[in-house]
A = this chain, B = another copy of it.
Amino acid sequence: MERIPILRMGEFLLVTIQVDMHDQLAMTLQDDLAERISATSAKAVLIDISALDMVDSFIGRMISSISGLSSIMDAETVVVGMQPAVAITLVELGLTLQGVSTALNVEKGMQLLHKRMAAK
């Protein structure tokens, strides 16, 4: 079955979205993430969406629900690599991604997280 790989980078998990998401794939990703956060005690989930040049409310909701899931499991969510057009669309759709941090790229996202961990 098709699934999106979840890469472990130290205390963080990294998910790169490259393909068109559909219901089943999004569900599988959430299930897999819940399992991996629990298994690895990950402190944060980084979602790279730099490959997406379009976004719809489905993707927006998926990011929100991953964020909710992570938050329940005591992990933060950082969305990285958002393209300008995607940001504009999300605002137009009224999806403000509350509780989700953003960073320009994976490296900056990890720096942000390291700083937050250090401040705790």
Q: State the interface size on chain A (CB cutoff 8 A).
A: 19
Complex alpha-carbon distance, A107 and B36, angstroms = 14
The quantity of this chain's copies bound in the complex is: 2
A1-45 interface mask toward B, CB cutoff 8 Å, 1 = contact, 0 = none? 001110111100010101100000000000000000000000000
Complex alpha-carbon distance, A18 and B8, angstroms = 16
B48 near A107 (CB under 8 angstroms)?
Answer: no
In the complex, whether A87 has a CB less than 8 A from a CB of chain B is no
Min CB–CB distance A48 → chain B (angstroms): 6
A41-63 interface mask toward B, CB cutoff 8 Å, 1 = contact, 0 = none? 00000001011000000000000
B5 near A16 (CB under 8 angstroms)?
Answer: yes
